[in-house]
Amino acid sequence: MEDELNALNNIKDKLDLDNNDINKVKENDKIISVLFMTQGNQDIINYSMACKSTDLFSSLEERLYQDFPKYRNVKKIFMVRANRILRNKTLEENNIKNNDIICLFPID
């Protein structure tokens, strides 16, 4: 019985970790969609991601690496409308709006 309970708790913890914050929407949260694109190559084209405007950009970055892991260890900058994105600020603080295109620039 105790082993089954531990197994269920482990599954619950994994689900909580895997759940995007988008699933935990509060009444005043604003849901937006952003598009990611790489510059200089065609690796990422119009990769859409739903998120909350209050999400830290770093959380979007982590979600991007799940599908494009090769960019995790690459020097890069992210930009939106010619402005550099600060990863430890929210989308609102970075002035990222619905349907914005976020460009990933690999740095050699």
Q: Please give the chain's pLDDT, 108 residues, in tens.
A: 666 655 555 555 554 444 445 566 676 778 999 999 998 888 899 999 999 999 999 999 999 999 999 999 999 999 999 999 999 999 999 999 999 999 999 987
Residue range 26-106 forms a domain whose CATH class is alpha beta
In one letter, which amino acid is 52?
A: K
pLDDT of residue 19: 44
What pLDDT sits at residue 78? Answer: 97
**CA–CA gap between residue 98 and residue 50 (Å, rounded):** 9
Domain-by-domain residue ranges, the chain?
26-106
**Predicted local confidence at residue 82, as pLDDT:** 94
Helix (H) / strand (E) containing 32: strand 31-38
- Name the pTM for this structure: 0.75
Q: How many Cα atoms occupy the beta-carbon half-sphere of 88 within 13 Å?
A: 0
Residue 9: predicted pLDDT: 56
38: burial class by Cβ within 10 Å (0-12, 13-18, 19+)?
middle
Handedness of CA 84, 33, 88, 36 (dihedral sign): negative
